[in-house]
Amino acid sequence: MPVVVDHDHRTFTLHTACTTYQMQVDRYGYVLHLYYGPRTAGTMDYLPTFWDRGQAAQPEHVGDRAYSLDVLPQEFPFQGMGDLRNPLFSVRRVGGGAFGCDLRYAGFELRDGKYGLPGLPAVYDEGADGAQTLVITLRDAQLRLDVELLYGVMPAYDVVTRAVRVVNRGTETVEVKRLQSACLDFTHGDFDVLSFFGRHGMERMPARAALGHGSFSVGSRRGESSHQYNPFLIVCDRTATEEAGQAWSMSFVYSGGFCAAVERDQFDQVRMQMGLSDEQFSFPLAPGEELVGPEVVMTYSAHGLGLLSQNLHRLIRQRVCRGYWRDRVRPVLLNSWEAAYFDFTGDSLVDLARKAKECGVELLVMDDGWFGRRESDTSSLGDWRPNTAKLGGTVAELARRVNEAGLDFGIWYEPEMVSEDSDLYRAHPDWALAVPGKPKVRGRDQLVLDLSRPEVRDAVFEQMCAVLDDANVAYLKWDCNRSLVDVYSSAARDQGTVLYNYVLGLYDLLERLSQRYPRMLVEGCASGGGRFDAGMLYYTPQIWTSDCTDAVNRLTIQVGTSYGYPCAAMGAHVSASPNEMTRRPAPLSTRAAVAMMGGGFGYELDVRELPDAGVEAVKRQVAYFHAHAELIMNGRYYRLVPPETNRLCAWEFAAEDGSEALVAAVVLDVHGYGVPSYLVPRGLTPGAVYRCSETGGDYPSDALMSAGFPLPLSLAPYESCAFHFSRVGA
Ligand code: DGJ
């Protein structure tokens, strides 16, 4: 069984195929963290050390100066009993009362299957997964406050998840000031921290640095998980590489504000933690009320960062993403945004669809500009009625014309937003988030709807259904183009709850959409990759990775994204050259090679302007994508050469069973009469022979995986190449 309860040692041990996680209830009732590492048997309660460290506090019932929560590794560090490192939990009595609580072990429950979280996304299990849930209850006896620590064990995925439920069983209201979901305390170790920073158009750049004393933290106070820092963090050995060394990660299954921190304390111990941001957060819990801290996914790799990523890829693809499109190859699409921006009509879209059909494209997406009086980004958000004059009819009629041209039809929405210049805003100005008496803060000239209010969600949903019920819509792009600044809801009983309830409202809308249109493919987007997180992937199996479509920039963005997220989830398009954002030219073949790193492959340019040779090239690209789409969706992804080398970027998809592999590379720089680059594929079957479709040669797999093979020296900067290997006799 994945969860083992040892009553003698008072330990709980969580086993996955290759990992073990262990904790213990100590003699004073506190739950200590013991171990998270390679799978092992035994009790690791020899790891924490007890010693009088001078100035370290003790709870009064302990009476032993060698025992201090300020030193010991814990499962759920809370503020109030002497641990003065970063807490996960802090609570205050109402009416300006005291801070602090005393949470001690009160019992456990073990059940088969993986827990779910009401109204929140979470990893789910399927029958044969053998998943288990362990719930450990901590209790503050005086406040009668229960904190349930939820552990989900996914043995075949090498994943342990954590979430937390706080229940007020007392008679007084308490205020939760801070609630984070997961903590990993290391008693020793010299680590690097790998975080992912960015901005609009440059998301998820890996940043690796040695962990010094103090607290390193990233987070978002933007109401969305954000372009600036991703809710995903890795702690690894200082020497860890793609292939070797230990690495631990946390991914937040949540799309709003977060905080992720790693602290090195006075005794060189390390605490890694993740959960809700406590900025503008203050959650009153009346008697009987509860609050759930969203889920954190943890994984451990003893074999470097590559395996860590692959664990997450498989889990997110198979047990976070859901629905009809989870395992299906996605249609190759053409998006109208960089092809036409706001400047289109129904006729021009049908024209585009006809040309796209010639190119082999399967779906046309009508992006922003189809509704209200939207001819620029200054108006009409909230008025989700088609501009029939512009479209030449209703959305249903246009969808029919696009279908007649041989393509499926897709549409763009930005349901969370409202323009002041809109009928919706004129009718319901109080539906927008705004702080009374304070000047409003606009972003892209728009305001944010108060999704914490059910009537606001209902109104948006009804408008969406009025279009989607009638029209044959195969795809929907869910955009969100600003952060939340004015956090005030006229319906909230405490403004400290608004950011959290907004995200729950967002999830409610997304859930309703997926229930009503189960076969519609929904792609997430937030000015590109401003909300690329595991929470959104529960509702939208792919996300537009970035508004930057420059192929060379996309290498760093997509490879950075791959540390925590599967390629199958990345929306990636071929756009015009020179790129409209960066002015950098790149060959069509390279733009396609880079976009084919994503399972959400498509085009975003005016295909009518392609010369005949370009149309033929696109046809070949679409056929190539189809030939390899299963491998791109489900293969093991390897970062062979990261773009940071500035010389080359190379990656590989290898079939789980070793039957085939696709290796691709883009040259970034060359030197005259230069040194050849060799690529060393991974994940092939040892002792086998592979045939390469491009060279026609046969290669022994062990030699390939050790000496590699040379790339053509003729490749110029920004040119690309791809090699498909199939196991001979497979
Ligand atoms: C931002 C998105 O990321 C773009 O792809 C496009 O949909 C625009 N919004 C439309 O306003």
> What's the CA-to-centroid distance between 337 and ligand 1, angstroms?
7
> What's the CA-to-centroid distance between 527 and ligand 1, angstroms?
6
One domain for residues 435 and 565: yes
One domain for residues 630 and 661: no
One domain for residues 183 and 293: yes
> What's the CA-to-centroid distance between 197 and ligand 1, angstroms?
21
User: Could you give the C-alpha distances from 449 to 275, 278, 414, 417, 488, in angstroms and in order?
Assistant: 24, 22, 11, 5, 11
Last residue of a domain, one of 590, 619, 634: 634
One domain for residues 493 and 602: yes
One domain for residues 650 and 629: no
Residue 326 domain flag: no
Last residue of a domain, one of 259, 287, 319: 319
Residues of the chain above pLDDT 70, percent? 100
DSSP helix/strand/coil, 461: helix
Q: State whether the beta carbon of 123 lies less than 6 angstroms from ligand 1.
A: no
One domain for residues 343 and 314: no
pLDDT digits (tens, 9 = 90+) for 254-287: 999 999 999 999 999 999 999 999 999 999 999 9
Q: State whether the beta carbon of 337 lies less than 6 angstroms from ligand 1.
A: yes
Task: Kindly tell me if the per-residue pLDDT of 675 is higher than 90.
Answer: no
Total number of domains in the chain: 3
Task: Kindly tell me if the per-residue pLDDT of 11 is higher than 90.
Answer: yes
pLDDT digits (tens, 9 = 90+) for 36-71: 999 999 999 999 999 999 888 999 999 999 999 999
Which pLDDT score is estimated for 646? 83
Q: Relative to the CA of 547, which ligand 1 atom is closest?
A: 3
Catalytic residues: 479, 547
Q: Relative to the CA of 367, which ligand 1 atom is closest?
A: 7
Q: State whether the beta carbon of 335 lies less than 6 angstroms from ligand 1.
A: no
Tell me the mean pLDDT in the region 93-101.
94
Q: Relative to the CA of 412, which ligand 1 atom is closest?
A: 7
Mean pLDDT, the chain, as a whole number? 97
| Nearest-5° Cα angle at 725, 722 to 730 | 160
Nearest alpha carbon to residue 35 among 22, 46, 17: 22
Q: Relative to the CA of 544, which ligand 1 atom is closest?
A: 3
Task: Kindly tell me if the per-residue pLDDT of 729 is higher than 90.
Answer: no
Residue 502 domain flag: yes
Q: State whether the beta carbon of 412 lies less than 6 angstroms from ligand 1.
A: yes
| Residue nearest ligand 1's atom 11 by CA | 368
pLDDT digits (tens, 9 = 90+) for 571-618: 999 999 999 999 999 999 999 999 999 999 999 999 999 999 999 999
- The enclosing domain of 168 has a CATH number of 2.70.98.60
Q: State whether the beta carbon of 232 lies less than 6 angstroms from ligand 1.
A: no
| Residue nearest ligand 1's atom 2 by CA | 527
> What's the CA-to-centroid distance between 631 and ligand 1, angstroms?
29
Cα–Cα distance measured from residue 671 to residue 648, given in angstroms and rounded to the nearest whole number: 12
| Residue nearest ligand 1's atom 10 by CA | 368
| Residue nearest ligand 1's atom 1 by CA | 527
Last residue of a domain, one of 319, 342, 357: 319
Q: State whether the beta carbon of 368 lies less than 6 angstroms from ligand 1.
A: yes
Tell me the mean pLDDT in the region 181-197.
98
One domain for residues 422 and 507: yes
> What's the CA-to-centroid distance between 295 and ligand 1, angstroms?
29
Pocket test for ligand 1, best of 444, 525, 548 (most atoms within 8 A of CB): 525
Neighbours of 12 (CB within 10 A): 23
Residues of the chain above pLDDT 90, percent? 97
Tell me the mean pLDDT in the region 633-647.
94
Residue 386 domain flag: yes
One domain for residues 358 and 296: no
Q: State whether the beta carbon of 242 lies less than 6 angstroms from ligand 1.
A: no
One domain for residues 595 and 545: yes
Q: State whether the beta carbon of 547 lies less than 6 angstroms from ligand 1.
A: yes
Residue 535 domain flag: yes
Q: State whether the beta carbon of 338 lies less than 6 angstroms from ligand 1.
A: no
Q: State whether the beta carbon of 527 lies less than 6 angstroms from ligand 1.
A: yes
Q: Which residue range forms the structural domain that includes residue 709?
A: 640-729
Quick one: pLDDT band at residue 730, thresholds 50, 70, 90? low
Tell me the mean pLDDT in the region 517-535.
98
Q: State whether the beta carbon of 367 lies less than 6 angstroms from ligand 1.
A: yes
Q: Relative to the CA of 525, which ligand 1 atom is closest?
A: 3
Q: Relative to the CA of 527, which ligand 1 atom is closest?
A: 3
Cα–Cα distance measured from residue 676 to residue 488, given in angstroms and rounded to the nearest whole number: 60
Which pLDDT score is estimated for 55? 86
Residue 570 domain flag: yes
One domain for residues 101 and 199: yes
Cα–Cα distance measured from residue 530 to residue 509, given in angstroms and rounded to the nearest whole number: 19
Residue 411 domain flag: yes
Q: Relative to the CA of 337, which ligand 1 atom is closest?
A: 6
Q: State whether the beta carbon of 523 lies less than 6 angstroms from ligand 1.
A: no
Cα–Cα distance measured from residue 214 to residue 269, given in angstroms and rounded to the nearest whole number: 11
Residue 327 domain flag: no
Angle between helices 498-516 and 454-468 (to 10 degrees): 30
Cβ-Cβ contacts under 8 Å for 530 (sequence gap 6 or more): 200, 203, 224, 225, 226, 227, 480, 483
Pocket test for ligand 1, best of 479, 522, 604 (most atoms within 8 A of CB): 479
> What's the CA-to-centroid distance between 368 and ligand 1, angstroms?
7
**Chain mean position to CA 112:** 27
Quick one: pLDDT band at residue 135, thresholds 50, 70, 90? very high
Cβ-Cβ contacts under 8 Å for 387 (sequence gap 6 or more): 370, 371, 372, 373, 374
pLDDT digits (tens, 9 = 90+) for 473-482: 999 999 999 9
Residue 328 domain flag: no
